[in-house]
Amino acid sequence: MMDGRIGFIRNELDKHGYATTGIMSYTAKYASAFYGPFRDALDSAPKSGDKKTYQMDPANKREALIEATLDTAEGADFLMVKPALHYLDVIHLLKEKSSLPIAAYHVSGECAMLLAATQNGWLDYETAMPETLLSLRRAGTDAIITYFAKDYAKKWKLERG
């Protein structure tokens, strides 16, 4: 999110009686090739230039700490890392350094890689999918946004009876 946006949103929500409405900040949104399938499905790829002007450099882990500090000071309730799998170190770092819950956005390209591997018979979906989500929890996420949510919920329900 752009600097100052969390503070503006928080002030507007508070002013209009929504002080208990939570804000999840795009604290660490990295410029990534893994957004591709979603962008392609919605035809939302930039028509000129790219979206990297407001996304973080994948090589810069320290910037996530700076953004987390700013977002927290402005009133964020959750800090989000996007994409998730290739930034487990950032998730872990934020979990160690922040008192706020950490969310991970497991984006379309990350899911598509696993689906392609399972469709080619290289991995077993019923084993690899929950293991993938477990890795996000182990890194420190409190909430996971994923295209696998329904499949995981069904699997979890079946296993728990």
**Which residues have a catalytic role annotated?**
29, 82
Long-range contacts of residues 132-136, Cβ cutoff 8 Å, at least 24 apart: 132/85, 132/106, 133/106, 135/85, 135/88, 136/84, 136/85, 136/88, 136/91, 136/104, 136/106
For 102, phi then psi, to 5°, come to -110, 130
d(CA 80, CA 24): 7
In sequence order, which residues have a C-beta less than 8 Å from that of residue 104 and are 6 or more positions away? 80, 81, 82, 84, 91, 136, 139, 141, 143, 144, 145
